[in-house]
Amino acid sequence: MTADAEDVSRRHYGLNVEDVRPVPGQIWMSQIILRFNEEIGDVGDVLIGMAYRGIPSNRVRIGIGHVGGGLPDDVGALPTPAPPYTISGRITYGTTGLGGTLVTLGGPQAGATTTDDNGAYSFTVTPVGNYTITPSKAFYTLSPSSKILNDLSGNRTVDFTAIRTIRISGHITDSNGRGIIGITLDLSGSEQGKVITGSDGSYSFIPTTVGDYLLTPSKEQNFYTFTPSTKQFSGLNDNQIANFTGLLSSISNPSYVLEFDGSPMTVDYRDFWPVNVGLPHFFWELWAMPGENTYTRYLLSDGYGGAHALLFGFNYNAEPGRYNLFGNIWDGSTWTNFVSDDGPSPGEWGHYAVGWDGMNIITYYNGVPVGKQPFAGPRICMGPSWGASMLLIGGSDHQNLIGRIAQVRGYEGSNPRVGAPETSFAPQTVFSRDGQLLSYFFRSAQTVADLSFGYNSVTHLGKLRGFSNGYTVDCPDCPTPRFVLDPTAPEFSNPSNPGTIIAPFSPAPATPSSALIYDSFSSNNSTYILGGSGGLGATEGGSAGTQTWQTNADASGPQPFGILSGRAILLANDTSLAWVPTGSSTGNLDIRVDRRLGSYGNGVNTGLCFRVMDKNNFFFAYTSDGTDLPSTSKKLSVGYYRSGSQIMLASDITIPSPNWKTLRVVTLPSGSINIYADNALLYSTNSLVLAAAAGAGLYNNGPRLGLTNRWDNFTVLPAL
């Protein structure tokens, strides 16, 4: 606290404040002792004022030496009134008072009151101090929300204004009660507005006008049907809850696919991946068809730069007339490339996928693992300054797809194959609502919906774009991807009966002249896609005639083996066998199968069953090594099943050459068994167990071998 005196000549004298204390019995008053400045002489009247924490008081007049003269009193200078004090005011809505508003008083003397019909309120308080006035009324927002009066020392007037606020809120959920993110709700009527549901399907509006309203949910491309379709509010004057149920249906008539012609065009989902952080596991899948000359062309790209959180597409294949799946991932300093050993032919519709489980990048062709690349991470998106972070489907401003895409689904932060990444699976014909991005291209639209659960609490809409001067330059007149009808595509509008895909395959080679049984598996792909059950069908040739493959699985259900790119593949995730009767009258059998050694983990091992009586009684021989590196030596294991119980005869027999091609078993009714890799004898024994059984076929020795095990050119010859 400071004090000051001013005389008639406007000279100021500083005064010392020696003591401040309350006046007994008058708590609203204070007693102050001041020491006068010794320079003050017989000046007559002076005006003395004080300041507390920088806030000045009114000034009082006193005479020094004599009374009289001095400056005139300050305007409005009066003694501080004694309590009680009145705190009052008015609350208005527009130009009229708002009655029935609760007003609460906080401070040394708390209280509450309600405004009268004119919106007026009043409090009478005795204690001095700090007070807070807070008004509230349902369906109204008050401004200011509260008012603080510091060091109350007199009557005060505090007014408020009100705005009518009515909340319309609710949730949009699917048939399982899960919230649907990204649904647009349009409010029309006395006021207009638009909101989008959050990750839990919630939304809210706060209209300020009483009246009639109409609420309508919608989603891009109209794949959702909502119940109810709209919600009407008549004379709305209080809060309302309006919930909707959304039914997702992919059925479209006609059903389109999206065509890319190789020129710079894309479906642009804008900023998608978080920047400069270690990104988690992922799995991306598409139904697509590569056209002619689709070499080094992108299905999916993180941006248009040179460093990608994920790049995935088609590339050259060592096998003529086919593509492989390829791509790369950036770890913050370099690329890790991944490539598959198998892939589609031009014009072949299929399911193409890639996933990472934190250890390996696995590529999939029609649900079958076809390539593996070790990768421990980190996985980094470099951001817009590197031309990254935006999700682009069909290419960016270079290396654009020549072909067609029907749908895409991506998982970020999870990988549904993580529990069994090297096993085959049944891809969904129409992707269900799941993951962090889901789009159908079945309906023509300039903006494509994201039907997923969202990524980082938002959905990402895809915009069809074309480019002439790079990604960053808009080109409204540039060609964009086209929605077209494709009679060769699966019938996605009828997922329970989607038809079949005819995949080109090479003609079967000539059957060896002396073969009893021969099967090169040169036939249409047979996997679990489009509701298929896999299976090997029947053998192609041999003197025993065409024989239908039998397996350890029920013939009416999914089969453990299938065909992909002219080779037998494993579809099951367990010990499996498939066999045929050989038609041999002597039991002298030379049974052979080729592995198809790939460069990326595919086809490094194989196996045979022989002396097969039934699924519980047979011999087996298989190769393994615990790794899928093609350059490593493999191990041979031999044994048999008797009444479903396994007996091992030998294991860990090293195959000397890493470049062997054919696993061969020679079995005789005398009991002799000799096993070869090409012409190198690996194992020999003599056993009369099942020696008269003449069935032979393919064998898979356990789970998680869908990538490594392959079978080709199965042949049964008379043993010489």
Instruction: State the average pLDDT over residues 323-343.
Output: 96
- How many whole angstroms separate alpha carbon 95 and alpha carbon 119? 11
Average pLDDT over residues 190-212: 94
Can you list the positions of beta strands (E) in 10-43?
12-23, 26-35
Residue 56 has pLDDT above 70, yes or no: yes
The tens digit of pLDDT for each residue in 294-331 reads: 999 999 999 999 999 999 999 988 788 999 999 999 99
**pLDDT band per the 50, 70, 90 thresholds, residue 630:** low
Residue 681 pLDDT grade (very low, low, confident, very high; cuts 50, 70, 90): very high
Average pLDDT for 389-414:
97
Is 7 in contact with 43 (CB distance < 8 Å)? yes
Give the pLDDT score at 599.
86
Q: Average pLDDT of 396-408?
A: 96
CB 99 within 8 A of CB 76: no
Q: How far is CA 550 from the centre of its chain?
A: 42
Give residue 73's pLDDT: 83
Question: Percent of the chain, pLDDT > 70?
Answer: 98
Buried b / exposed e along 197-214 (16+ C-beta atoms within 10 A): bbbebbbebbbeeeeebe
**Domain range list for the chain:** 2-64, 85-164, 170-248, 257-484, 517-718
For residue 79, the model assigns a pLDDT of 64
pLDDT at 76 over 80: no
pLDDT value at residue 627: 64
pLDDT digits (tens, 9 = 90+) for 147-183: 999 989 899 999 999 998 889 999 999 999 999 999 9
Do the beta carbons of residue 379 and residue 329 sit within 8 Å? yes
Angstrom distance (rounded) from CA 667 to CA 89 = 107
pLDDT value at 629 more than 70: no
Q: Which CATH superfamily is domain 517-718 in?
A: Exo-inulinase; domain 1 (2.60.120.560)
| 216-220, 251-255, 565-569, 711-715: least confident range | 251-255
Determine the Cα angle at 476 with ends 472 and 481, to 5°: 90
What's the rounded Cα separation, in Å, for the pair 272 and 391? 6
Take residue 702 and report the two structure tokens written for it. 């356990």
Determine if residue 43 is left, alpha or beta; phi over 0 gives left, psi from -120 to 50 gives alpha, anything else beta.
Answer: alpha
CATH number (3.40.50.720, 3.40.50.2300, 2.60.120.200, 3.40.50.300) of 257-484 reads 2.60.120.200
Q: What is the mean pLDDT of residues 538-556?
A: 97
SS3 384: helix
The helix (H) or strand (E) run that includes residue 288 is strand 282-290
Distances (CA, A) of 563 to 15, 521, 569: 104, 7, 6
- CB distance 570 to 576 below 8 Å: yes
Over residues 77-102, mean pLDDT: 89
pLDDT at residue 27 greater than cutoff 80: no
**Least confident stretch, 144-158, 277-291, 628-642:** 628-642
At 359, the pLDDT band (50, 70, 90 cuts) reads very high
Chain centroid to CA 428: how far? 18
Query: 88: which strand partners?
Result: 122, 157
34 confidence band (pLDDT: 50, 70, 90): confident
> How far apart are alpha carbons 449 and 440 in whole angstroms?
8
Half-sphere exposure of 685 (CA within 13 A, CB side): 16
| DSSP H helix total and E strand total for the chain | 0, 56
What residue type is 12 in one-letter code?
Answer: H
What local confidence, expressed as pLDDT, does residue 713 receive?
98
Instruction: Report the candidate in 214, 210, 164, 173 with the shortest Cα–Cα distance to residue 192.
Output: 214
End-to-end CA distance of the chain: 120
Q: Give φ, ψ of 529 to 5 degrees.
A: -70, 155
pLDDT at res. 144: 97
DSSP-based three-state secondary structure for 633: coil
What is the mean predicted confidence (pLDDT) over 533-537?
98
**Residue 26 confidence class, pLDDT cut points 50, 70, 90:** low
Which tens digits make up the pLDDT trace of 430-483?
999 999 999 999 999 999 999 999 999 999 999 999 998 889 999 999 999 999
Q: What is the DSSP letter of 109?
A: S
Looking at residue 283, its pLDDT comes to: 99
Separation in Å, CA 272 to CA 232, 381, 388, 395, 455: 36, 10, 9, 15, 8
Same fold, 257-484 and 517-718: yes
Segment 323-351 shows an average pLDDT of: 96
pLDDT band at 32 (very low <50, low <70, confident <90, very high): confident
Place of tokens 């085959």: 424
Q: Which CATH superfamily is domain 170-248 in?
A: Carboxypeptidase-like, regulatory domain (2.60.40.1120)
Q: May I ask the CATH class of domain 85-164? A: mainly beta
Residue range 389-395: mean pLDDT, rounded: 97
For residues 418-435, average pLDDT: 97
Write the CB contacts of 517 (distance below 8 Å, at least 6 apart in sequence): 539, 542, 544, 547, 580, 582, 583, 696, 714, 715, 716
Residue 19 burial by CB count (10 A; 0-12/13-18/19+): exposed, middle or buried?
exposed
pTM: 0.83
**CB-based contact 34:16 (threshold 8 Å):** yes
Residue 538: other Cβ atoms inside 10 A: 13
pLDDT band at 381 (very low <50, low <70, confident <90, very high): very high
Whether omega for the bond prior to residue 217 falls within 30 degrees of 0, making it cis, is no
Contacts of 67 (CB under 8 A, 6+ apart): 44, 45
Asked if pLDDT for residue 81 goes beyond 80, the answer is no
Query: In the predicted model, what is the mean pLDDT of the chain?
Result: 94
